[in-house]
Amino acid sequence: MKKNNKYFININKNIYGGKHKGYFDYDKKAKDENSALNPWAYIRVKNEDITLRASLESILPAIQRGIIAYNDCDDKSEEIILEFCKQYPSFIPKKYPYNVQIQNPKNEENKLYSYYNWAASFIPKGQWLVKIDVDHIYDAKKLFSSFYLAKKDNDLVSIARLNVAVYENKVYVVPNYYIDVVDHWLVKNDDLKWKEVLVDGDSMNWNEVLFEERDKYTNLNSYELLSLKTHKVKRYKLTNLHFPFIKKSRQIQKDDTWLSLDEFKERHKELLGTKIDERMLNEEEILSLYYSFNFSFFTKLKHYYLCFFSKLRFTPPTQTKISLIKAYL
């Protein structure tokens, strides 16, 4: 049987309390705890129960261990994390004991950079870590292959992402489209330290403000920044899809900047085959992945409705909508 991502994901679903399987099983160097082929997953979570389990399962064939830090969760994220770590005990849950406040934080421990430093403190010095965000779905084979680029201690492998969204049963690539700005990476933990950075905007609209000019602004946001100036950046092709509008804190607002997959391929031909494996832009597979997320019952019902009638290519009358809803209740 061909050992691809789906093979390993299916195998790992049936493992409970033991060691999960992956591409690392086929390279002896990946058994070395100090090897770049055996990094810690460095994960932070807040209210991401929709994509959380799918994202974690997607990295298992590439990553053997990890720290899953979480804070201020009032959805099912904590439950999912604890169950995942029980099933795969090489992943360790860590609950941050303070409230994280992005806007006007009260104390140092309430700042995002303090949380990042706290989470990283559980990863041994001298070992490698890879930043994982759980609103991303990873291609484990490509992710593991990217680890081979790290040859020296000061090497840093930048992990690019593609922002995608689903709207009315159609996949779009959304701003800032293809991103490779060294904010997701594989790096060695040589006493890494995050610092505070003030931002007028948010993580999607980043406008950094100098500390000496902070009095000119109201309601600045406090984010984190990791200084990596001494590292040699190495880049790899796309390894993951980012679903930024899945988060409950972000509103989905479709506009003219959204590109269909065909439009994106046409406008960014230079990325295809070089930075992006075109097989990652298969709309049917992305939709299948999207609909497998842990949505609420009524959201899933809406998805089923859209899928069904988009294939018929007409808008059903209200009475048909009511009948369909009743059929699922």
Choose among 202, 205, 170: nearest CA to 286.
Answer: 170
pLDDT of residue 297: 72
pLDDT band of residue 320 (cuts 50, 70, 90) is: very low
pLDDT band of residue 98 (cuts 50, 70, 90) is: very high
Cα dihedral sign for 299, 251, 81, 131?
A: positive
- Segment 68-95 shows an average pLDDT of 97
Task: Give me the phi and psi of 141, to 5 degrees please.
Answer: -65, -45
Of 31-45, 89-103, 197-211, minimum mean pLDDT range: 197-211
Most confident of 198-202, 253-257, 293-297: 253-257
pLDDT of residue 318: 47
pLDDT band of residue 93 (cuts 50, 70, 90) is: very high
- Segment 37-55 shows an average pLDDT of 97
- DSSP helix/strand/coil, 130: strand
What is the Cα–Cα distance from 318 to 102, expressed in whole angstroms? 43
- Segment 245-259 shows an average pLDDT of 83
**In the predicted model, is pLDDT for residue 312 greater than 70?**
no
Contact 162, 279 (CB under 8 A): no
Calculate the average pLDDT of the chain: 90
**In the predicted model, is pLDDT for residue 6 greater than 70?**
yes
- Segment 289-307 shows an average pLDDT of 79
Structure tokens at 114: 């303090």
Contacts of 298 (CB under 8 A, 6+ apart): none
Structure tokens at 74: 């009032």
Could you give the percent of the chain with pLDDT greater than 90?
A: 75
Higher pLDDT, 313 or 158: 158
Map tokens 């770049």 to a residue.
36
Cis peptide upstream of residue 104 (ω within 30 degrees of 0)? no
Higher pLDDT, 226 or 213: 226
Strand 194-199's sheet: what is its strand order? 208-209, 194-199, 221-226
pLDDT of residue 220: 87
pLDDT tens by residue, 103-116 = 889 999 999 999 99
pLDDT of residue 316: 44
Of 60-69, 162-171, 178-187, 246-255, minimum mean pLDDT range: 246-255
Could you give the percent of the chain with pLDDT greater than 70?
A: 90
The alpha carbon of residue 291 and the mean position of all alpha carbons in its chain are separated, in whole angstroms, by: 17
pTM of this structure: 0.90
Higher pLDDT, 298 or 241: 241
Most confident of 12-26, 190-204, 215-229: 12-26
Q: What DSSP string describes 159-184?
A: --EEEEEEETTEEEEEEEEEE-SSSS
What is the Cα–Cα distance from 13 to 16, expressed in whole angstroms? 8
pLDDT of residue 27: 97
- DSSP helix/strand/coil, 199: strand
Q: What DSSP string describes 84-107?
A: HHHHSTTEEEEE-SS---SBS-SS
**In the predicted model, is pLDDT for residue 328 greater than 80?**
no
pLDDT band of residue 213 (cuts 50, 70, 90) is: confident
The alpha carbon of residue 261 and the mean position of all alpha carbons in its chain are separated, in whole angstroms, by: 20
Choose among 309, 311, 247, 310: nearest CA to 321.
Answer: 309
